[in-house]
Chains A and B, each alone.
Chain A
Amino acid sequence: MISEVIPSLLHSVPVDDTWITFDVNSFTQNFWSSTFDGLTFGAIYALVALGYTLVYGVLNLINFAHSEVFITGCYGVFFTLSALNFGPSAPRLAFWAIVGNLVLALIVAIIASALMAVIVERVAYKPLRQRKAPRLAFLITAIGVSFAIQYTIYWWRGPSPEAALTMFRPAAIFDVFGTIVDSQQVVIVIAAIILMIATDQFIRRSRTGRGIRAVAQDPDTATLMGVNKEKIIVTTFIIGGILAGAAALFYVMKIPSGVQYNGGFILGVKAFAAAVLGGIGNVRGALLGGLLIGLIGNYGQVLLGSSQWTDVVAFVVLVLVLIVRPEGVLGSSLGKSKA
């Protein structure tokens, strides 16, 4: 029997040459638009990735609940802007009124996310740290907290996404080879990069930043040198929360109907991938990784012909990069980054 089965098995291996095609024409046609959109989304990934990277640098753990910190920020944006009468259609407000409202939404989002980050730290991580639990235990409480937060939101707001919120109507600013760059893309990318630079400088130059680096490098020695480790850990979570809150505003700006109970999960996974791609624990790596993940996914999508490929291409590139550079593109860790 086997002698019959094996050849027929081999014969029946699913070979179908139509499922993967390279559409170079579409790639060149859509190159610039995918670049700009990729950068915009990449900037959002990068902001979320920073949260992963900082916590990883300090505690050496993957904070799987960070996506819920992010989605809390999205709800902060949603409730603030709803209260300010923003809705599905772009509001007809004076320019400064819009800016004022958005800044208000940003502040609320930042507070909400930072608060949630601290709650996550207190509920999921601190008790385990006190009990000197093995590393993997943290992973599980993170997942548990993540489930609990998602389904609390679910219980409260239901399964559907919240109504769309349009902040302003994106307008063309300039064009590159016939492809329009609009105000939304510019706002998101520039603001995200400014935030990244601010974070980078903060980690490098400030007293707290030095504390963070010290704990990342060697928690015990840092404690001996007078660094309050617990305080540094909470601060790290707060910074991650602040950046996630900012990312939340940009995310809702880009995807007006993206506020949903489980809306953060996939984005979180990709942001984490971005952090690893750049070199986890490395602040600049997170920026680079985020932009790369955004770009690569979009390029893959237009080259291979459908959105289904976005994540496949992004992850394949991630795997390949890690094989060549096992510690990510920029490598190194938070503690070792030069001051």
Chain B
Amino acid sequence: MSTTDGPTLIPDDASAQEIADREAKMRRRKGWFPGLSDRWNALPRQTQWLILIVVVVLAYLLPILNPPLITTEPGNNWQIALAQMSVYALVAVGLNVVVGYAGLLDLGYVAFFALGSYTAAMFTSPDSPYVHIPYLWTLPLAMAVAMFFGVVLGVPTLRLRGDYLAIVTLGFGEIVRILATIIPAMKGQVGFQNVGHPPGTDSSGQPIFLNSSGTPWYWLTLTIIIVVLLAAGNLERSRVGRAWIAIREDEDAAEIMGVPTFKYKVWAFAIGASVGGLSGALFAGQVGFVNNQKFDIATSILFVAAVVMGGTGNKVGAVLGGSLVAYIPLRFTAIAEFKYLIFGAALVIIMIFRPGGLLPARQSLLAYGRLAYNKLKGAMGDIPASGKVVLEPGKGSGNE
């Protein structure tokens, strides 16, 4: 069965029992928040929205609250740290489309991030001899440029499977970084100074968006993240999203069931790339300086780590993972010698205790899911109260 065909699973008593067992097992296996996502899914839509609004308001208030213990000070300014975390979170949301939804392991995602940064820098920095446009214009431009290169890279390489794709993308990431060193127009390590920022000045005449004021950048990025999350959520539940998940679970089966896999893979790549470019442009604006130092393989691998740590395929998990990957080294700047040691250990420990990531994505019905659950619930009283039908991950989609 391909998920594009919609649910056809009508469980009889035995299979319902099996599902309940599996559910119970899963719940036991999850250590920290038992049944959190079950309980979440069981909540009425209105309550979900209410909780979400509270969470979002809290997120907006973070730079002002500056919670003790969590804060990155005294090593690092908390507002700036938040701005950088939010950029990483956005990166993770974009990469999650590629890695999480479509299952394409992209180790060179930093290339798109770099393209976005350079687009913002080259069209706004006074160091650049080219035409200058307002900073906000560079955001869509960066998305377009990154998307273009996503397609250019994707079309020849997306026929590769699995880890061959990983190494090709990794190579692409390195090529972009080194070309930034070699091509004189991209100024290598010398870089671009005074990258533009959104307009607006405060009461004292200082621009609002400065590289030393993290809060406006954080709010801007957070808003963009929310918009992108809403878009990603809709994509996820659309035909495209279902096709991606089919490809991720079993590409051959998806192909046989009539999913034009190549087309959807290029789509995933292009959409992911454009979000990468957008976050790159935001990052360039926030730091105010762009050179070739940020865009190395290590950063690229950290992006993937963010997605996987958050929970591959879960967009909210990606936000969490992205912020965490940026946060841990920033939090421990005051004990600089140990920060990456702590970071490495944290990655290992988190993955060992939460192999599926912090918020693991689970297979569930995507389109009209709630409707289907309710129908099933109404039809059969003994379906687990979580209201969730779990398709067997990995194999199920190809067999029926």
| Chain A contacts to B: CB under 8 angstroms | 5, 8-9, 11-12, 14, 16, 18-20, 56, 62, 64, 123-124, 127-128, 131-134, 136-137, 139-141, 143-152, 154-155, 265, 269, 272-273, 276, 280, 306, 308-309, 311-312, 315-316, 318-319, 322-323, 326-328
The CA-CA distance from A308 to B184 in the complex, in Å, is 13
The CA-CA distance from A123 to B297 in the complex, in Å, is 24
- The reply to whether A19 and B305 contact each other, CB–CB distance below 8 Å, is no
The CA-CA distance from A323 to B154 in the complex, in Å, is 11
**Complex contacts, A273 vs chain B, CB 8 Å:** 167, 170-171
**Complex contacts, A146 vs chain B, CB 8 Å:** 344
Nearest-CB distance from B397 to chain A (Å)? 16
The CA-CA distance from A137 to B347 in the complex, in Å, is 10
- The reply to whether B163 and A280 contact each other, CB–CB distance below 8 Å, is yes
Top 3 nearest A-B pairs by Cβ distance?
A: A144-B347, A147-B344, A133-B355
**Complex contacts, A328 vs chain B, CB 8 Å:** 164
Q: Is B343 an interface residue (CB 8 A)?
A: yes
- Given A18-B184, A265-B297, A315-B171, 13 extra CB contacts under 8 A: A8-B131, A9-B123, A9-B131, A16-B183, A128-B352, A133-B356, A140-B309, A147-B341, A269-B174, A273-B171, A318-B168, A326-B161, A328-B164
- The reply to whether A144 and B167 contact each other, CB–CB distance below 8 Å, is no
**Complex contacts, A62 vs chain B, CB 8 Å:** 163, 166
Contact of A311 among B159, B174, B348 (CB under 8 A): B174
Among B185, B304, B305, B348: residue with most chain A CB under 10 A: B348
- The reply to whether B178 and A308 contact each other, CB–CB distance below 8 Å, is yes
**Complex contacts, A316 vs chain B, CB 8 Å:** 171, 175
Nearest-CB distance from B300 to chain A (Å)? 11
- The reply to whether B183 and A322 contact each other, CB–CB distance below 8 Å, is no
**Complex contacts, A319 vs chain B, CB 8 Å:** 156-157, 168, 171-172
Nearest-CB distance from B281 to chain A (Å)? 15
- The reply to whether B337 and A155 contact each other, CB–CB distance below 8 Å, is yes
Q: Is B179 an interface residue (CB 8 A)?
A: yes
Q: Take A128-B355, A146-B344, A311-B174 as given contacts and tell me if A323 and B183 are in contact as well, using a CB distance cutoff of 8 Å.
A: no
Residue on B nearest A155 in the bound complex, by CB: B337
Nearest-CB distance from A128 to chain B (Å)? 6
The CA-CA distance from A12 to B118 in the complex, in Å, is 14
Nearest-CB distance from A139 to chain B (Å)? 7
**Complex contacts, A315 vs chain B, CB 8 Å:** 171-172, 174-175
| Chain B contacts to A: CB under 8 angstroms | 29, 99, 105, 122-123, 129-131, 133, 137, 141, 156-157, 159-161, 163-164, 166-168, 170-172, 174-175, 178-179, 181-186, 297-298, 301-302, 304-305, 308-309, 312, 337-338, 340-341, 343-348, 351-352, 355-357
Nearest-CB distance from B133 to chain A (Å)? 6
Contact of B351 among A9, A144, A308, A318 (CB under 8 A): A144
The CA-CA distance from A308 to B159 in the complex, in Å, is 30
Q: Take A308-B182, A322-B164 as given contacts and tell me if A124 and B131 are in contact as well, using a CB distance cutoff of 8 Å.
A: no
**Complex contacts, A326 vs chain B, CB 8 Å:** 159-161, 164
- The reply to whether A323 and B156 contact each other, CB–CB distance below 8 Å, is yes
Residue on B nearest A136 in the bound complex, by CB: B308
**Complex contacts, A312 vs chain B, CB 8 Å:** 174-175, 178-179, 182
The CA-CA distance from A56 to B122 in the complex, in Å, is 41
- The reply to whether A124 and B348 contact each other, CB–CB distance below 8 Å, is yes
- The reply to whether B170 and A11 contact each other, CB–CB distance below 8 Å, is no
Among B156, B168, B298: residue with most chain A CB under 10 A: B168
Contact of B347 among A133, A136, A143, A276 (CB under 8 A): A143
**Complex contacts, B312 vs chain A, CB 8 Å:** 134, 136
- The reply to whether B346 and A144 contact each other, CB–CB distance below 8 Å, is yes
- The reply to whether A322 and B340 contact each other, CB–CB distance below 8 Å, is no
- The reply to whether B133 and A148 contact each other, CB–CB distance below 8 Å, is no
Residue on A nearest B341 in the bound complex, by CB: A151
- The reply to whether B348 and A56 contact each other, CB–CB distance below 8 Å, is no
Residue on A nearest B188 in the bound complex, by CB: A308
Residue on B nearest A158 in the bound complex, by CB: B337
The CA-CA distance from A5 to B29 in the complex, in Å, is 57
**Complex contacts, A265 vs chain B, CB 8 Å:** 297-298
- The reply to whether B181 and A308 contact each other, CB–CB distance below 8 Å, is yes
- The reply to whether A5 and B133 contact each other, CB–CB distance below 8 Å, is yes
Could you list 29 A-B pairs, sorted by A, with CB under 8 Å? A8-B131, A12-B131, A14-B122, A14-B130, A16-B185, A18-B184, A56-B163, A128-B352, A131-B355, A136-B105, A136-B312, A137-B351, A139-B308, A140-B308, A144-B343, A144-B347, A144-B348, A145-B348, A148-B344, A154-B341, A155-B337, A269-B170, A273-B167, A276-B163, A309-B178, A315-B172, A322-B157, A323-B160, A326-B159
- The reply to whether B164 and A276 contact each other, CB–CB distance below 8 Å, is yes
**Complex contacts, B345 vs chain A, CB 8 Å:** 144, 148
- The reply to whether B344 and A145 contact each other, CB–CB distance below 8 Å, is yes
Residue on A nearest B179 in the bound complex, by CB: A312
**Complex contacts, A131 vs chain B, CB 8 Å:** 29, 352, 355
Residue on A nearest B167 in the bound complex, by CB: A276
- The reply to whether B130 and A12 contact each other, CB–CB distance below 8 Å, is yes
The CA-CA distance from A301 to B342 in the complex, in Å, is 38
- The reply to whether A132 and B346 contact each other, CB–CB distance below 8 Å, is no
**Complex contacts, B157 vs chain A, CB 8 Å:** 319, 322-323
The CA-CA distance from A41 to B185 in the complex, in Å, is 32
Among B161, B167, B297: residue with most chain A CB under 10 A: B167
Nearest-CB distance from B359 to chain A (Å)? 14
**Complex contacts, B343 vs chain A, CB 8 Å:** 144, 147
- The reply to whether A150 and B340 contact each other, CB–CB distance below 8 Å, is yes
Q: Take A19-B184, A134-B312, A144-B347 as given contacts and tell me if A327 and B352 are in contact as well, using a CB distance cutoff of 8 Å.
A: no
The CA-CA distance from A315 to B168 in the complex, in Å, is 8
- The reply to whether B348 and A148 contact each other, CB–CB distance below 8 Å, is yes
**Complex contacts, A123 vs chain B, CB 8 Å:** 348
- The reply to whether A269 and B297 contact each other, CB–CB distance below 8 Å, is yes
**Complex contacts, B179 vs chain A, CB 8 Å:** 312
